[in-house]
Amino acid sequence: MEFIYLHGFASGPSSYKSSYFCTKIESEYHWKSYSPNLNQPDFLKLTISAQLAHLQNEFTGNSYIVMGSSLGAFVALMAAQQKTIPITALILLAPAFEIVERKTKLMGDEQYRNWQKTNQLEVFHHYHQKQMTLSFDLMRDAEKHQFKPEAITVPILLFHGKQDDVVDYRLSQKYLDNYPQVEAYYPESDHLLIDQLDLIWEKSKDFINRIS
């Protein structure tokens, strides 16, 4: 068994959560852990399709437990749905459902159409700590990746904060709560879940011990 951590939007491979969970996994289970760069092919031209292709090219082992945060969690779901890599189980932190719908609502119709027209949006990249340009390719490509929960059969451990103002926790309830393979927790926390990492790790250990 090996472990993959997938970082979120405008983040990077050595984020705090990535380092935290990869270190825990290596110490507890002595597995290889990976945190790939999901700014694929680069941040400007970022797409979910390119992220999935990167995973397929990079990971050719027999079995992976995949943890993802926000957009990384949604990519993990798509990888399981499309069988991009062999996944044994998923651990999801605030998965970024309904990417296009949320972005349209957040930006407003006029700003969203302007992004589509100019193909440029300035975004603060937390990993690089600077403003970077994002093309509209992410939105065009996201339309191709519709989540189909019935297509996923692997066990899922889900955490989504009730105070999340980026991705409403009720989206996770909408898409995942009705499936028996999903074990869900909705703590009083925000999108980052930083104050819940110890709880997430303890629940993740129990989950991994049951399924591995």
Residue 183: inside a domain, yes or no?
yes
In this structure, is residue 212 part of a structural domain? Answer: no
Single-letter residue type at 140: R
Which pTM does this prediction carry? 0.97
CATH number at residue 42: 3.40.50.1820
- Is 82 contained in some domain? yes
Quick one: pLDDT at residue 77?
A: 98
pLDDT for position 62: 87
Residue given tokens 């909705």 in the structure block: 186
d(CA 16, CA 39) in angstroms, rounded, equals 17
Total number of domains constituting the chain: 1
Q: Of how many residues is the chain composed?
A: 212
Domain that holds residue 59: 2-207
Residues near 91 by beta carbon (within 8 Å), at least 6 away in sequence: 65, 66, 67, 68, 156, 157, 159, 200, 204, 207
How far are the Cα atoms of 14, 119, 150, 157 from residue 161, in angstroms, in the given order?
A: 23, 32, 24, 14
Residue by residue, pLDDT tens for the chain (212 residues) are 999 999 999 999 999 999 999 999 999 999 999 999 999 999 999 999 999 999 999 999 889 999 999 999 999 999 999 999 999 999 999 999 999 999 999 999 999 999 999 999 999 999 999 999 999 999 999 999 999 999 999 999 999 999 999 999 999 999 999 999 999 999 999 999 999 999 999 999 999 999 98
Q: Which residues pair with 122 in a beta bridge?
A: 133
Q: How far apart are CA 172 and CA 96, in angstroms?
A: 9
Give a yes or no: residue 116 inside a domain. yes
Q: What angle do CA 79, 23, 15 make, to 5 degrees?
A: 65
Distances (CA, A) of 55 to 76, 86, 121: 10, 11, 26
Helix, strand, or coil (residue 143): coil
